[in-house]
Chains A and B, each alone.
Chain A
Amino acid sequence: MTVAIQGGRERARAVALVRRVNFAVVVFLALYVAVGLLQPNYLEPAGAMNFLRRAAPLAILASGQLFVLISGGFDLSVGSLVTLTVIGGSMLTANDPSKTWSTIAALYAIGLFVGLINGAVVAYLKTPSIIATLGTLLSVNGAAMMWSGGSPRGYLPDNFRMFGRFVFHDVPVIGIFPLAVAVLVAVCALAQWGLHGTVFGRRVLAVGDNPRAAELAGVRVEFVRLGVFVISALSAVTAGVMLGGFGGVSVDVGRGLELQAIAACVVGGVQLLGGRGTVVGAVAGALTLTALFALLTLLGLPQPLKDTAQGFILIAAVAIGAWRRRRAV
């Protein structure tokens, strides 16, 4: 900010720089500091790592949902796919650690299948994605219930739970390093490269901005739509594998996660109906929501009021984003 005083041009440049910083990053840092003031553990490296570990599934879901949102659609089926992943994991491994790897492969195959169905229904049957993925939400939830007989219990084998639980100890500087954080970093890097570093990523943005123009420019719109739904579904399986390590097996592991993932993206400045969004924004949005939940827990708010606070934050984030865009024009 001291730069701003030196003159008009520097000032304009500084303002432009500040504008380019994602708003969610600023909100996240503010919230995180507030959390840290209430509970100093969070400001230590180990506390920060634990925070990231807990935020990882939502951040991964958000970076997958991001592709669908940017292409102009919604993917409401991811929460149910997370549930199916956890329940399928417990049914397929049946407490036998030696089956873990084949199970994970099978779960990704299921995710690929669900993603292809979503994509095909939207791209070829031209069904609006809200309805299409709502249909898969119902079906996938039903399938998970059917598979488990309705009341699954217990835990996944330990080597399956490793992705959510394992922590490297005695790491220099940061002390502990959860495996989940490594997965998170890898997924974010992959998403960043996929969206901002590949032709496919440019095409996703183009399709979301104006599908007709993209088509005239030679983009195969149907193929792009298939791709984004597959990416979203695979991210849901990844998040599900991780959440399986966090807690026990139940039918509502994934309930509501689709809306949280969309909310995270929106808080991160992603524009619904397509054409605008960044991976940094989506991940920062997910971290913001997680920090908000942590803050509300520390303040002793009961669970229902956390929903209320989330509702306010969601509306405020989008209203502020809309206001900033109107002012910038």
Chain B
Amino acid sequence: MSDQQAIAPAPAWRRHSAAPPLLLVGSILLYVGVALWTGQTRMLETDGVIGLLQRMVGLGIVALGQTFAIIAGSIDLSVANLISVAAVLASFIMQGRADMMLAAVLIVLAVSALVGVVNGAIISRLQVSPFIATLGVGLILQGLLSASFTDFAGSVPKEFQLVAYSTFGVVPYSVAALFALAALASFVLWATRFGAHLYAVGGNAEGARLAGIRTDLVTIGAHVVCSLSAGLTGLYLASRLRSGAPWVGRDGVYDLESIAVVVIGGTLLAGGRGGVWGTLAGVLLFATLDAAFNMLGVSAYPKLVLRGAIVILAVAVYTFRTRGHVA
């Protein structure tokens, strides 16, 4: 987002963020502590833990994509709207028929990829700031969707519901898929040319351009990955809710929450530094908070207040040592 922060070199111990292990340990302590304190030891058995991991899936998948956008120095505010589009489109095309599943999935992914290309092209070719570009695209998507559908549209067949409800032994497909996607994302970031280019463009776009990197293609690529992940989250929600409605993405606040978990996970909002394991740890923290609030019986509204304060504190814990300027 801003190149002011990228100028000051970080000390070596900050370059490899301490966020993921810290968040992991913190989340586990919080979860176990609250479960013991409230006497709900049932939550510590397999079912409880699997339930906790299942809470991570929806936000987790889209947050993996958001990590790509943010590492590349961009940001994507259109994901919540795209999630709604994907969920509605999937259930509308399937109409409860198993033979339409493959077509629906392919169409949803194609539409998502297209949205990513549009986002990336507006940012890199028209030089519109990512904040405005993706906000605008999100408004356009939501408007078209809400004008066409006002309620749950169509339904998904039993077979498609297996995506959300079926398991390998004790591990749900969806949880396995989340970790498989995270491993894939991590591989792309650390071991491929595209990954290296993402960090280069996010760290210093002009420097990357002078080094011969097609920065516009990298930005577009990052947004395609981000939009595809939003499409996958939409498919997952359609499977879990058995149908898609035009408000599923917005009600989940996936746009702002995905950005929050990425930053909590230690990825620099300015781009150029970070990774997917931190993001997953951030998602785990959010899931743990939800579970902990439920165990403690905190009602819905105080939960919101606490959640806001925790977002700030979780990020502040390691930003307050920053010596440069942050806006």
CA distance A62 to B249 in the complex (A): 27
Contact between B132 and A314, CB atoms less than 8 A apart:
yes
Whether the Cβ atoms of B136 and A312 lie closer than 8 Å is: yes
Residue of B nearest to A77 (CB): B308
Option from A73, A125, A134, A140 in Cβ contact (under 8 Å) with B316: A125
Is B133 within 8 A of A315, CB to CB?
A: yes
Binary interface encoding of chain B residues 257-273 relative to chain A, with 1 for a CB under 8 A from any of its CBs, else 0: 00110010000011000
Least CB distance, B216 to chain A, in whole angstroms = 14
In this assembly, does A138 line the interface, its C-beta being within 8 Å of a C-beta of chain B?
yes
Q: When each residue 135-146 of chain B gets 1 if its CB lies under 8 Å from chain A and 0 otherwise, what string results?
A: 111111011111
Most chain A CB within 10 A, of B301, B302, B321, B326, is at B326
Within residues 268 to 300 of chain B, which ones have a CB less than 8 A from any CB in chain A? 269-270, 300
Minimum CB–CB distance for A46 against chain B, Å? 32
Chain-B contact segment, one of A8-16, A105-113, A141-149, A159-167? A141-149
Q: How far is the CA of A128 from the CA of B318 in the complex (A)?
A: 12
Chain A 101-136, CB within 8 Å of chain B: the 1/0 string?
000000000000000000001101111111110111
Rounded to whole angstroms, the CA-CA distance of A194 and B132 in the bound complex is 26
Q: Which of A136, A145, A318 touches B312 (beta carbons < 8 Å)?
A: A136
B259 to A311, Cβ gap below 8 A?
no
A-side contacts of B312, CB under 8 Å: 121, 125, 127, 131-132, 135-136
CB distance from B114 to the nearest CB of A (A): 16
Contact B146 A307 (CB under 8 A): yes
The answer to the question of A175 belonging to the interface, with a C-beta cut-off of 8 Å to chain B, is no
A324 CB, nearest partner CB in chain B, Å: 11
Residues of A41-61 contacting chain B, CB below 8 A: none
Q: Are A131 and B315 within 8 A (Cβ)?
A: yes
Is B1 an interface residue, CB under 8 A from the partner? yes
* Contact of B191 with A by CB under 8 A: no
A130-B259, A135-B312 known; A273+B126 contact, CB < 8 A: no
Query: Which A residues are in CB contact (< 8 Å) with B4?
Result: 210-212
Report A-chain residues with C-beta under 8 Å of the C-beta of B324. 212
Give the distance in Å from the alpha carbon of A310 to the alpha carbon of B301 in the complex. 31
**Assuming the A-B contacts A128-B327, A134-B259, A308-B147, are A319 and B126 also in contact, with contact meaning beta carbons closer than 8 angstroms in the complex?**
yes
| B128 part of interface (Cβ distance < 8 Å) | yes
CB distance from B297 to the nearest CB of A (A): 15
Contact B143 A305 (CB under 8 A): yes
Bound together, the chains give a CA A273 to CA B269 distance in angstroms of: 13
- Given contacts A135-B311, A308-B140, A314-B132, is CB(A128)–CB(B319) below 8 Å? yes
- Whether the Cβ atoms of B260 and A134 lie closer than 8 Å is yes
- Shortest C-beta distance, A302 to chain B (Å), equals 6
Once bound together, how far apart are the Cα atoms of A328 and B19, in whole Å?
44
- B260 in contact with A142 (CB, 8 Å): no
- B309 contacts the other chain (Cβ, under 8 Å)? yes
Collect the chain B residues with CB atoms within 8 Å of residue A319's CB.
122, 126-128
A304 to B250, CA, bound (A): 14
Contact A122 B305 (CB under 8 A): no
Residues on B with C-beta less than 8 A from A305 are 143-144, 147
Q: Known interface pairs A125-B320, A143-B305. Does A304 touch B126 (Cβ–Cβ under 8 Å)?
A: no
Q: Which residues of the other chain, A, contact B307 by a CB distance below 8 angstroms?
A: 138-139, 142
A131 contacts across to B, CB distance below 8 A: 259-260, 263, 269, 311-312, 315
Q: Are B302 and A212 in contact (CB under 8 A)?
A: no
Query: Is A281 part of the contact surface with B, judged by Cβ < 8 Å?
Result: no
Assuming A146-B302, A308-B147, A314-B136, is B319 touching A135 (CB within 8 A)? no
Do B327 and A211 touch (CB < 8 A)?
yes
Query: Which residues from A are CB-within-8-Å of B138?
Result: 311
Q: Shortest beta-carbon distance, A87 to chain B, in Å?
A: 12
| List of B residues within 8 angstroms of A257 by Cβ | none
The answer to whether A145 and B301 touch (CB under 8 A), given A212-B325, A273-B1, A315-B126, is yes
Q: Is B322 on the interface with A (CB-CB < 8 A)?
A: yes
User: Are B140 and A273 interface neighbours, CB within 8 A?
Assistant: no
Chain B residues, CB < 8 A from A126: 316, 319-322, 326
- Nearest residue (CB) in B for A272 is B129
A150-B301 in contact given A121-B316, A311-B136 (Cβ < 8 Å):
yes
Of A76, A131, A146, A306, chain B has the most CB atoms within 10 Å of the CB of A131
A139-B308, A212-B4 are contacts. A318–B129 as well, Cβ < 8 Å? yes
Is B187's beta carbon under 8 Å from chain A? Answer: no
Assembly CA distance A274 to B131 (angstroms): 14
Q: In the docked arrangement, what's the CA distance between A263 and B131, Å? A: 10
Shortest beta-carbon distance from B141 to chain A in Å: 8
- Give B residues with C-beta under 8 Å from A: 1-2, 4, 75, 122, 126-129, 131-133, 135-140, 142-147, 256, 259-260, 263, 269-270, 300-312, 315-316, 319-322, 324-327
Known: A137-B256, A142-B307, A304-B147. 7 other contacts (CB 8 A): A127-B320, A128-B263, A132-B312, A140-B308, A142-B301, A142-B308, A315-B133
A-B complex: 5 closest residue pairs judged by Cβ atoms: A142-B304, A308-B143, A139-B308, A138-B308, A311-B139
